[in-house]
Structure 1
Amino acid sequence: MTKIHELKATVETVKWGYYDNSWKPVLTIESGDFVDIEALNHQSGDAPDLLFDEAIKEIYDVVPRDMGDHIITGPIYVKDAEPDDIIEMKIIETKPRMNYGSNVIANWGNLSNSFNREESIFIYEVDPEQGITYPIVCGRIKVQNSAA
């Protein structure tokens, strides 16, 4: 029977960086189950007054960041999945946790030299009823390390 699971982002269920196959799963599901996964914005620290609630602040304060820049929720174990199996996932719906978010133009990658290796941060407000966002803060940061 198909189940619906909820996986909140907490200090017990998130890691900074990447998945490692030695980690114990934070949730076990059957093939065909649905999972409502809470994903966090790894740029929340750029505007904590808008992008933090108590749970996000605790994650930033407690979860070690020694493995990378992204906050990931999981891992999830699928019962009876074997090596070389294909796991299909479909995103059915997305909804913001908060009415603010952020985006970044990175200071690395193929186009970074075209933008003078400046990182631009955009903080925006979400209007969930209209399904649109409005930029409210924009900023540029000049990166000193040109080898990145």
Structure 2
Amino acid sequence: MAEHHLLTTCKTVHLGGFSPSLTPVLHIQSGDRVHVETYTGFYVCDQAPPEFAPPELLNIVQNLPESQRVSVGPHLLTGPIWIDGAEPGDVLEVHVEAIAPRLPVGFNPCGSIPRRSAA
């Protein structure tokens, strides 16, 4: 079993949601252990004091390429991760061993989702 560390960078994250068109940023074998870094609140950097966000998050907010912007959604996601031998339709068993906050604060934005007009 190999151990991998997937850091949060402009090359390893994407914004807005999942897409099958994204190129995997890490290839692993079944049973490997992966430590994944991620941040939430991509757009919170526009509203928070500068000291709120660490330099690596600010770098992502300022430099994330358009090709990594899947949708307008606020979620910054790390990955995708390719598992050698896995195929569409397979069930994956994932064990989450630990979760640790990356930022020393929490937030809960609120708002409304624009309604689509009935055509």
Bin for the TM-score computed over the shorter chain: 0.7 to 0.9
More strand by share: 1
Highest RCO, 1 vs 2 (Cα 8 Å, sep ≥ 6): 2
CA positional deviation for 1:48: 4.3
Show the counterpart of 2:38. Answer: 39
Deviates more, 1:21-30 or 1:43-52: 43-52
Q: Note if 1:95 corresponds to 2:100.
A: yes
Write the mapping of 1:1-148 to structure 2, written as runs, cut at 5 A. Answer: 2-42=1-41, 43-45=43-45, 46-63=47-64, 64=66, 65=69, 67-69=71-73, 70-108=75-113, 147=115
Cα pair distance change 1:90/1:106, threshold 3 Å: farther
Secondary structure in 2 matching 1:104: coil
Q: Could you tell me the TM-score, scaled by structure 2's length?
A: 0.80
Aligned CA-pair RMSD = 2.0
Q: Identity over the aligned pairs, expressed in percent?
A: 31
> In structure 1, how many angstroms separate the alpha carbons of the residues matched to 2:88 and 2:107?
36
Q: Which has the larger radius of gyration?
A: 1
What stretches of structure 1 of length at least 5 have no aligned partner? 109-144
Deviations 1:1-47 (A, max 9, x none): x1111111101101111222122110011111111111111253231
What stretches of structure 2 of length at least 5 have no aligned partner? none
Q: Could you tell me the TM-score, scaled by structure 1's length?
A: 0.66
